[in-house]
Chains A and B, each alone.
Chain A
């Protein structure tokens, strides 16, 4: 089944403790992206990647890092999480830069206390 898999689904952590949210897709998509979803703000892009070793900042990249060492994986790294990064995070992938729509993961609900 074609899908985008995120782990974990739920995570509670403390301020300053480094964490990684994994994202993997099995569709051989070139384009992958991370979004955060917050009430009243909709979806905002954090980082995106056009292909292996090619990443760029989205609208709200501060406090996040990403890497794209393999085509299928696009982990989101929070080096020193803060409470304002408490949010629902979605990974998405697409071929051709999104022209045919994105496939989204199930989301990761992160709480930073």
Chain B
């Protein structure tokens, strides 16, 4: 069964420290992986897609098929990065409208 696991409910770091938000997935096919961010009282916003291999707001994420992971990283955290982060998985090439499967989310708290 498809599954996305985010092992940490809460990650607290100091401003300027490196950040790694973990995401592991379970899927037999060829998935697409995403990171979404939800700032306080706001809607979810797409942060990254693995397929685009881009860096957004200093965040990067690399898909590691061997370890079935898609960890989100940033070398120097900023206070404005404090938010809830969701890892999500979608099946490639599925025309049946499969769900975007979300992990349970990790709250990132950056303090000065």
A contacts, CB < 8 Å to B: 31, 33, 35, 40-45, 48-50, 54, 56, 58-59, 90, 92, 97-107
Contacts and interface: CB of A to CB of B under 8 A. Distances in A.
Contacts of B70: none
Dominant secondary structure at the A interface: strand
* A-B CB proximity, top 8 nearest: A42-B104, A50-B97, A101-B46, A43-B102, A104-B44, A45-B99, A104-B43, A98-B90
User: Chain B interface: which size bin?
Assistant: 20 to 34
A99 B105 contact: no
Contacts of B44: 43, 90, 92, 102, 104
A97 B45 contact: no
A97 B97 contact: yes
Given A31-B97, A33-B99, A101-B49, A42 B43 contact: no
A48 B99 contact: yes
Contacts of B92: 99
B94 A97 contact: yes
B43 A97 contact: no
Contacts of A103: 46
